[in-house]
Amino acid sequence: MWRYLQTCCLDDVTVCLAMSLLLFLKASQAGRGASNVKPLDGVKILDLTRVLAGPFATMNLGDLGAEVIKVERPGAGDDTRAWGPPFVGKESVYFLSVNRNKKSIAINMKNSRGAKIIRELAAVSDVFVENYVPGKLAEIGLGYEDIKKIAPHIVYCSITGYGQTGPMVQRGGYDSIAAAVSGLMHITGHEEGEPVRVGVAMTDLATGLYACGAIMAGLLQRYKTGKGLHIDCNLMSSQVACLTHVAANYLNCTIEGKRWGTAHGSIVPYQAFKTKDGYIVVGAGNDQQFVTVCKILNVPEVSKDSRYKTNTLRVQNRKELIDILSTRFSEKTTSKWLQLFEGSGVPYGPINNMQQVFSDPQVLHNGLVMEMNHPTAGRIVVPGPGVRYSEFAVSHPKPPPLVGQHTVEILKGMLGYEDNAIEELLHTGAVAQHEILFLVSLLQDLPMHMGSTHMVA
């Protein structure tokens, strides 16, 4: 459709507006009589990202209805396919956790014909997402300026370690390094202990969420202006932005950040307390909640003590107060404290392990467990999206793809390639179709392929 509109002698802005209108009309028509139309139905996303931040972003967009085309290296595919154990069959659980609702096309980008296919896919896509070191894709004609020439409507999102310009631009970015450089590790860990990495890659995940929101903003911007745009999203900026009050403490009051363990630098009590058989986390965010905590612990006199009347005073007299509360918490089991706090209005909860998390009635009620049937791994289970919507459900997810599972389908369906052209691309190694599924297709159409001898990467 993009190429057809260009032949009508229209300028790029007009073509972009026409494309946006067509996309809007397509989504509107899809919604007529449909009970589960999603906001990104009809949006095509070309996904050149690997590992976590990018795949997490595009998975969330796929959950909202976008068609995500994941471009992978023939053979090895996404780096995380090799991250394990654990594996389910031969599939990395890490990879399975962040790649649902995607189709995979295996393309050798270093092959000129492979790079050409990516440009052709970009021309018929709405969004282009990549996480290469700045300048790498431009070397093979796939940078923003290159893609903009053939697809001025494109929302092109780059996810990097440190941004598109600046003194650290050529450094690779992994979550742990970005978390260290941006200060997150400095403020994470026991008060007198060593810096600690957060249990999951929160810098990557935060960047993925920023990228997801930025891409949707880019699509809205294009609808308003008729123009695509480039989005610069990076791990360092995302994490520094998420330092919030710790950063503001330093910027406004030159108060250096420090590690507090499970406690909070500005609220007391707000931390984990050791019980007779485990831990409970309690947070008193205002003076009334503190009074309630003291009643539950049967130390009402503490709430009347002049040293603890306000939160400011409690922060100043933290050690003495925490010693008193810790002694009381240690006298009963976690389950007993949970019973006592129930219905009190004070935020509280146990420290759960994974078995306890996925047995929690609220977790199950919120639909946070997704099951899928994977073509080789069989039944797989992953955490689902953290948001629910009144007018549509994020349901019936497609399982994470095998490397190159949809190569032939995409070449035919999106680009209109004929069988003989696809055969040649497979033979030269410009693209690859997953071996198991390719053999299945051969058996289904045996007379057509009799005598074929090309290897499939």
| Active site positions, annotated | 204
| Residue 283 exposed, middle or buried by CB count within 10 Å (0-12, 13-18, 19+) | middle
Calculated CA dihedral for residues 173, 124, 71, 213, nearest 10 degrees: 40
Judge whether 385 and 63 are in contact, CB under 8 Å: yes
Judge whether 285 and 277 are in contact, CB under 8 Å: no
Name the 3-class secondary structure at 372.
strand
Other Cβ atoms less than 10 A from the Cβ of 406: the count is 21
Q: Give me the residue label for tokens 């949006």.
A: 43
Judge whether 160 and 131 are in contact, CB under 8 Å: yes
CA dihedral (84, 85, 89, 93) positive or negative: negative
Bridge partners of residue 373, in order along the sequence? 379
Name the 3-class secondary structure at 324.
helix
Bridge partners of residue 48, in order along the sequence? 130
CA distance linking residue 134 with residue 112, whole number of Å: 20
Packing angle, helices 112-123 and 419-428, rounded to 10: 140
Q: Give me the residue label for tokens 């930025």.
A: 214
